[in-house]
Structure formats: C-alpha cells, structure tokens
C-alpha cells in the first residue's frame, strides 16, 4: 500500500528530523491514522495550504510548508522578480512563528529577500505590506477561523491579493513538481541575516497601515461628539486583532472600548471558545456577558487573523443583543458609505460594488439606488481583489465597496483582501453617526430593510471528515449536478447554473448559455419569488455548504420562507 510506503520513508529517512521520526513511531500500530496522514499530499490549492498540524504528507509541518515555499521560489525565479522580495506574516496559531520562519529561510536559500513581521499580524496588514514594500509576493501563515489543530499558508501576489489564474495554477505546478523533499533548500538564520536576505519589519508598516485606515473616515465630527456615549465591546478571539483595533479606535477618539479580558491575549489553543469563528454566536458568550455589564451599543469580534468581523448590536426595544449575519454587517457599512459619500458629493460616477454569487441580493437594490455598477464574482475574496486590479489597470471603474457573506468586507483599496480591522472602524464610525441622529445600529438595519425590502439569507454547513467524508461530499455534488431538483423548499427552479461546466440552463425558455465566470465547483439555483440557493464544498474545511436567500415585503414572511429552504437542505444531513 502506497501510504504505508510513504509512512516508512518518513519514519526512517534522514531527510526528516528526529522529532518527526518520534511522532510517527507513536502511531506505528494505528493503520487508520497512518492512512489519514499519508493517503495523499496536502493539496496546495488556489487558497494555498490548510490542514491539521502533524507529521505526514497530508499534514501541516516543516516539510509540507517548505515544499510549498520551494515551489513558490522556483516560480518567482522563473518570473525574474526575485529581487523584489517576499513579505511574510503569521498569526497566533501553534507553529505559525516556526512555519513563517522556515518559509523565509527557504526563500533566502534560493536568493530571495524576505521581510518577516517581528510578531503576529492580521492578514490585511500582510496584504498592505506587499504593496507598501513593493514585493513580488506575500505569505501569511494562518488557518483563519479553523479549530486549533489546524494551520494554513496563503500566498499573495504583487498586487496584494491572493493568487488567481493563471498565476495560481503555475505556482501549483511548481509545487507539485517537487517529489523529493531533499531538494528543498534551507539556510541558517545567522547567514540569512548577515547576507541581507532576512529582514524584520514591524512598527513602520503598522503606522502606515493605521494612517491609511484613518483617511477613510467620513464623519470624524460624529465620532468626536459621541465618543463618550458610544460603548463598544471588542474581542480578538485570542488572535491578531487586539493591538491594531485598539490603536485605530483610540486614535479616532473612541473612549469606551471594552476588550474581553479572557480573550485579549493571543493563544493558539483558543481556550475560551470551541471554535474561534465570529460567524458562530457561541464565540460571543464572554463578549455578551461584558456587554450586558457595561450596557454596550455594539459588540465586535474578529477571527484569529482579523480579516473577518462578527457583530452583535443592542435592540433598545427588547434590551436584547441581536446578531448581524455577514450580509447584514457588510450592508450596514455599505449603506453608510454610499449614503454619506453621496451626501458629501464623493460618490464616483463610475463607482463599482463587488460581491459574490452567494451574497445578499440586497446589494443589487443598493447598487441601483446609488447608481453603482455591480459585479458578482465567485466565492473567495481573491476574486474581489482581482476586480480591483482590473479596474485600476483598465481605468474602467472606481472600487467603492466589496464583500462576501462569510463576514468579510473591504472599504478602501489599502489592502486587496477582506479587512476585519477597517470593518471594526467603519462599524463604530457608522454606529456613532447614527447615534448622533438618535438611531441605534439595530434600528438602522431595519431602516435598510424598510427601504429596499426584507432580504434574508441563511447557510447550512454539513461536516463530513476524513477520506469517507470527502467521498460523501463529492457524491452529493455529483448527484445535484447530474440530477438538479426542479423545486427547492416548495419554490420552482427557474434557472440552474453549474460553474464547473460553465453552463446555465434557463428552464423558463429552455435555453442554455455560459456563466461568464471561471470554472468552480459551485451550483446555483435561481428560484421563483425572488429566492435563490447555492451549493459548494468548502475550500478550507471538510464541509459542504448550502446558501439560500429570499426577499419579501415583511420580516415575518421572509423568515418563514427562509426556514423552508433551511429545512430542505438540512434534510441532507439525514441521508
């Protein structure tokens, strides 16, 4: 069996260190564990690496990380841009500092200069640093909001965005071409430093990043006038967001910022949460306790690499705290940005909003209201980053706002990835502005629904772990692809889009046409009564995800219709 051969090689070869040998010796009687670790190579996909930490070809470790880095180095050298260097950042997860250092030394051994942050930093700061330093690429070691046993490795290109075609495929080919771990080049730290290849960065980039965020403020007077009244509870969930968030809010004048003390310090075990994900209401348990004590207006949580933001706001009618979905928090910011820029005469005539195929349709109504061009892209913020680059290179549109439903948005173009720090800043600015008008954030969200319609969205994620789980997800996608349902949640399917085959079937007139987007394993169902559903496997977790959205004239009707779609997809868990 091939996986046993790989195991024996890793367990005995001098290519791997003694710590690896000892770890693998402990599982020598556990064939199932051996199979899980060695049945395949940890895939370097379009989002880089993401996996469980440990020894083995299907794990995150020194060797899989430096294999990816050697492939990246080979590609950079082929482009002739090795003199531009690579920026490197890391988060609070286990082995993040080590993986980032080994990646730097691998690049250094290939003659490529690196700029590695001195301590942990948010992902958007890495995106900012790539362009600020004029680097050819960037690496951030993070597994975002995954459980603590995971880590990951994401690659950015010189525009500050995650790699997209054709570059991603070309880098993947270089990584996959490495079949012998002994060819991976490494350099010791002292030699790398003395040769000028290994460079440490930190405060200078931080200050420039914060300065760029502050330039985006539209109503500093509203902040100033409500700084003493607006109460903010914040948690970095043991991650990277604490220092930059406190810095920017303090410098803008917010006085009542309460950080959850139990979650303030970085900790790769994430001891106070089962899952460090601001999409999960359970992650807010301690923040909600603190909010009730201080009577907070808003509660904000970043994920560990601080590119996402979760939000709770106070409902003054009930005294309870209500959670915003990722769509709601982004559109709360979007309506504030668009309305205030229009009022101040700052809206560009060629303005553009970029969103994803699984995000709220409310965006379309909002874009129409403010005469903005809307662009829909595939799931993943890298596609939004690509649009920003395209707008700039073509001189076609001016980027105004972009978001995806998974709690990520970007105001400004200082970064080319979702930015949870600027999202915190903008949420607080908007809350202060509306408070100056006597309106709470919750009331403003309801005002948005009253203005545009009651758009509601939901998501069902089913987890299937391991080899069997991967096959289960594959089978479910194939069945839906080959036998698309004609009704979902009692609603007729009007159009079926298969982004993998690049085909759209319009059942209203029995025609077909192309999707117009890159190929991706995504299925989309356009339903009657302004409703929709979308299905795709997660790119970072062993999950299949079902998205759905509706729009009606009342909150109650939208909730009912959404529940019917949720029940439909929930039934798949029983199959």
Asked if residue 233 and residue 177 are part of one domain, the reply reads no
Q: Residue 13: what pLDDT?
A: 96
Domain final position from 452, 483, 510 = 452
Q: Can you list the alpha helix ranges (DSSP code H) found in 242-380?
A: 242-252, 285-294, 326-343, 362-369
Q: Is 184 exposed, middle or buried (0-12, 13-18, 19+ CB in 10 A)?
A: buried
pLDDT digits (tens, 9 = 90+) for 375-427: 999 999 999 999 999 999 999 999 999 999 999 999 999 999 999 999 999 99
Domain final position from 403, 424, 452 = 452
Per this entry, what is the length of the chain?
575
Asked if residue 526 and residue 508 are part of one domain, the reply reads yes
Please state, as a whole number, how many other Cβ atoms lie within 10 Å of the Cβ of residue 28: 12
Contact 523, 568 (CB under 8 A): no
Query: Which residues are tagged catalytic?
Result: 144
- For residue 23, tell me if it sits in a domain: no
Number of structural domains in the chain: 3
Asked if residue 55 and residue 113 are part of one domain, the reply reads yes
Contact 158, 84 (CB under 8 A): yes
Dist CA 198 CA 184 (whole Å): 18
Asked if residue 182 and residue 120 are part of one domain, the reply reads yes
Q: Residue 47: what pLDDT?
A: 73
CA 352 vs CA 31, 318, 389: distances in Å? 54, 37, 13
Instruction: Report residue 419 as tokens.
Output: 């930015």
- For residue 155, tell me if it sits in a domain: yes
Contact 137, 126 (CB under 8 A): no
Beta strands, E only, 176-320: 198-201, 231-235, 256-259, 298-302, 309-314
Q: Residue 434: what pLDDT?
A: 97
Q: Is 124 exposed, middle or buried (0-12, 13-18, 19+ CB in 10 A)?
A: buried
- For residue 1, tell me if it sits in a domain: no
Q: How confident is the model at residue 570 (pLDDT cuts 50, 70, 90)?
A: confident
Supply φ then ψ for residue 364, to 5 degrees: -65, -40
- pLDDT at 561 exceeding the cut of 90: yes
Asked if residue 406 and residue 292 are part of one domain, the reply reads yes
- For residue 117, tell me if it sits in a domain: yes
Q: 562 Cβ partners below 8 Å, 6+ apart?
A: 456, 457, 458, 548, 549, 550
Asked if residue 333 and residue 313 are part of one domain, the reply reads yes
Q: Can you list the alpha helix ranges (DSSP code H) found in 414-537?
A: 420-436, 441-452, 466-482
Q: Supply the range of the domain harboring residue 148.
A: 40-201
pLDDT digits (tens, 9 = 90+) for 224-262: 999 889 999 999 999 999 999 999 999 999 999 999 999
């Amino acid at each position: 069996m091939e996986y046993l051969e790989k195991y024996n090689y890793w367990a005995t070869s001098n290519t791997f260190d003694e710590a690896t040998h000892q770890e693998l010796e402990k599982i020598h009687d556990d064939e199932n564990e051996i199979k899980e670790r060695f049945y395949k190579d940890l895939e370097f996909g379009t989002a880089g690496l993401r996996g469980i930490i440990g020894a083995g070809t299907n794990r995150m470790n020194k060797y899989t990380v430096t294999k990816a880095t050697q492939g990246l180095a080979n590609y950079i050298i082929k482009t002739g841009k090795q003199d531009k260097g690579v920026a490197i950042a890391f988060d609070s997860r286990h082995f993040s500092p080590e993986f980032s250092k080994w990646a730097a030394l691998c690049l250094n051994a290939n003659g490529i200069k690196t700029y590695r942050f001195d301590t942990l930093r948010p992902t958007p700061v890495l995106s900012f640093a790539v362009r600020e330093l004029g680097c050819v690429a960037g690496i951030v070691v993070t597994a975002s909001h995954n459980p603590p046993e995971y880590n990951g490795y994401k690659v950015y290109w010189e525009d500050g965005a995650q790699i997209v075609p054709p570059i991603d495929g070309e880098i993947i080919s270089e990584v996959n071409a490495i079949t012998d771990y002994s060819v991976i080049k490494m350099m010791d730290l002292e030699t790398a430093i003395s040769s000028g290849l290994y460079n440490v960065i930190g405060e200078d980039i931080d200050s420039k990043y914060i300065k760029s965020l502050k330039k985006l403020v539209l109503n500093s007077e509203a902040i100033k006038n409500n700084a003493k009244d607006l109460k903010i509870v914040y948690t970095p969930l043991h991650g990277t967001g604490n220092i930059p968030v406190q810095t920017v809010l303090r410098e803008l004048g917010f006085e009542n910022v309460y950080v959850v003390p139990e979650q303030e310090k970085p900790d790769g075990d994430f001891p106070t949460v089962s899952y460090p994900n601001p999409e999960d209401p359970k992650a807010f348990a301690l923040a909600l306790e603190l909010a009730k004590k201080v009577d907070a207006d808003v509660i904000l949580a970043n994920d560990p690499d601080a590119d996402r933001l979760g939000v709770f706001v106070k409902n003054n009618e009930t005294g309870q705290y209500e959670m915003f979905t990722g769509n709601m928090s982004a559109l709360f910011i979007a309506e504030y940005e668009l309305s205030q820029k229009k009022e101040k005469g700052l809206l560009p005539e060629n303005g553009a909003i970029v969103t994803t195929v699984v995000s709220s349709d409310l965006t379309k109504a909002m874009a129409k209201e403010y005469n903005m061009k809307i662009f829909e892209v595939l799931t993943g913020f890298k596609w939004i980053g690509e649009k920003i680059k395209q707008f700039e290179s073509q001189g076609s549109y001016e980027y105004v706002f972009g978001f995806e439903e998974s709690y990520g948005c970007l105001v400004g173009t200082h970064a080319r990835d979702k930015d949870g720090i600027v999202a915190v800043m903008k949420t607080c600015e908007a809350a202060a502005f509306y408070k100056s008008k006597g309106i709470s954030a919750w009331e403003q969200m309801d005002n948005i629904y009253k203005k545009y319609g009651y758009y509601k969205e939901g998501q069902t994620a089913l987890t299937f772990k391991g080899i069997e789980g991967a096959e289960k997800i594959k089978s479910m996608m194939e069945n839906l692809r080959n036998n698309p349902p004609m009704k979902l949640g009692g609603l007729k399917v009007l159009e079926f889009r298969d982004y993998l085959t690049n085909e759209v079937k319009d059942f209203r007139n029995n025609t077909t046409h192309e999707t117009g987007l890159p190929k991706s394993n995504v299925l989309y169902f356009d339903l009657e009564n302004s409703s929709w559903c979308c299905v795709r496997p997660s790119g970072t977790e062993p999950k299949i995800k079902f998205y759905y959205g509706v729009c009606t004239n009342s909150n109650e009707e939208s909730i009912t219709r959404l529940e019917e779609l949720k029940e439909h997809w929930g039934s798949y868990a029983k199959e």
